[in-house]
């Protein structure tokens, strides 16, 4: 009986494996046609200073598939990342981000790069060529990478980041605190910005540990002359706590959801979330 059950389980397991492989293939095929079919778009989430002035926007990819509906990047980026597709996708993102950036008066665009993109041969030359040939100041182009991207080859990463920074690019370490950064490497790397992962911001009000980590990162960033962006600010309480802790920059649904390019342009021209977001009333009430 147990044996039969065991076999049954194996069979079910195999089927679900088949299923998931088929699903991945479908996503891969759909995705490889998505660019040409115009199914991809970028949305932009404001990054604000303490007074709600808009200093930049993070570019976030969206895939609106007629077949699957809105596919979240967390689902398709890892699949693209397993093939060359990530490069095609990544280049599309760079170009679109630049188009949007050109409509803003001075803010930067922050673009996510996956580990595989970062490891690409001639990564520096590739990005430099794309950004500068578009006539964009690299100082308004922020490259967001995660700890995973740099810590499998620290020497090479340090060299790449140094070169990029020399060319004037901004570099941000995304989801900071979730990976394997050592403080030694943080100091060694040429970084402009630390983005505190939203799990810590989320835990701030509940757990002493999260609050302590948020405070430490803010101080570390400050001491090393880096900008610190708190990600995933969802409530007024978090916003106030972060301001009190001396956090210089914030991003999250409470301030603004990611918005489309036209809305981002209007906001950029306005320069501030004051008078627009829910946060303002809260800020003034506080
Ligand atoms: P990420 O780079 O850490 O981006 C932040 C994610 O948090 C975004 O999810 C954003 O919509 C979401 N977010 C912003 N504020 C809040 C908040 O207050 N609460 C909550 N719960 N979430 C918030 P999204 O757009 O689904 O992207 C997920 C991840 O997919 C990104 O995480 C990034 O790793 C990746 N990704 C997105 N766009 C690109 C891209 O163009 N290229 C690459 N390589 N990866 C991308
Ligand atoms: Mg990011
Ligand atoms: Mg992040
Ligand atoms: Mg994240």
Q: Is the ipTM of this complex over 0.90?
A: yes
Q: What is the CA(13)–ligand 4 centre distance, in A?
A: 30
Contacts of 88 by beta carbon, 8 Å cutoff, 6+ apart: 32, 35
pLDDT of the chain along its 286 residues, tens only?
A: 444 444 545 555 566 778 888 888 888 999 999 999 999 999 999 999 999 999 999 999 999 999 999 999 999 999 999 989 999 999 999 999 999 999 999 999 999 999 999 999 999 999 999 999 999 999 999 999 998 888 888 899 999 999 999 999 999 999 998 887 778 778 888 899 999 999 999 999 899 999 999 999 999 999 999 999 999 999 999 999 999 999 999 999 999 999 999 999 999 999 999 986 555 545 544 4
The CA-CA-CA angle for residues 92, 148, 178, to 5°, reads 115
Pocket test for ligand 1, best of 43, 56, 60, 198 (most atoms within 8 A of CB): 60
What is the spatial distance between Cα 180 and Cα 227, in angstroms, rounded to a whole number? 20
CA dihedral 174, 176, 181, 186 (to 10 degrees): 80
What is the spatial distance between Cα 60 and Cα 76, in angstroms, rounded to a whole number? 13
74 in Cβ contact with 60 (< 8 Å): no
H or E element, residue 200 = helix 198-203
Q: What is the CA(143)–ligand 2 centre distance, in A?
A: 9
53 in Cβ contact with 272 (< 8 Å): yes
What is the spatial distance between Cα 135 and Cα 54, in angstroms, rounded to a whole number? 22
């Amino acid at each position: 009986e147990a044996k039969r059950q065991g076999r049954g389980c194996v069979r079910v397991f195999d089927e679900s494996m088949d299923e998931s492989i088929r699903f991945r293939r479908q996503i891969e095929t759909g995705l490889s046609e998505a660019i040409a079919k115009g199914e991809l778009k970028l949305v932009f989430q404001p990054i604000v200073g303490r007074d709600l002035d808009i200093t930049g926007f993070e570019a976030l990819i969206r895939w609106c598939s007629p077949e699957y509906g809105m596919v979240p990047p967390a689902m398709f980026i890892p699949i693209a990342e397993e093939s060359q597709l990530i490069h095609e996708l990544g280049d599309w993102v760079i170009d679109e981000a630049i188009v949007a950036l050109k409509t803003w008066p001075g803010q930067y665009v922050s673009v996510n790069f996956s580990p595989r993109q970062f490891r690409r041969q001639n990564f520096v030359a590739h990005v430099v060529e794309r950004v500068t040939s578009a006539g964009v100041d690299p100082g308004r182009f922020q490259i967001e990478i995660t700890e995973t991207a740099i810590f499998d080859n620290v020497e090479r990463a340090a060299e790449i980041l140094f070169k990029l920074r020399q060319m004037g690019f901004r570099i941000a370490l995304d989801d900071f605190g979730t990976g394997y950064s050592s403080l030694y490497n943080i100091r060694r790397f040429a970084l402009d910005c630390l983005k505190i992962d939203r799990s810590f911001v989320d835990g701030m009000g509940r757990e002493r540990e999260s609050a302590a980590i948020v405070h430490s990162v803010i101080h570390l960033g400050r001491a090393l002359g880096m900008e610190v962006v708190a990600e995933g600010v969802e409530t007024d309480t978090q916003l106030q706590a972060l301001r009190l802790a001396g956090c210089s920059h914030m991003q999250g649904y409470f301030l603004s959801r990611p918005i489309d390019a036209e809305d981002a342009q209007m906001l950029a021209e306005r320069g501030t979330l004051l008078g627009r977001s829910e946060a303002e009333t809260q800020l003034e009430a506080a």
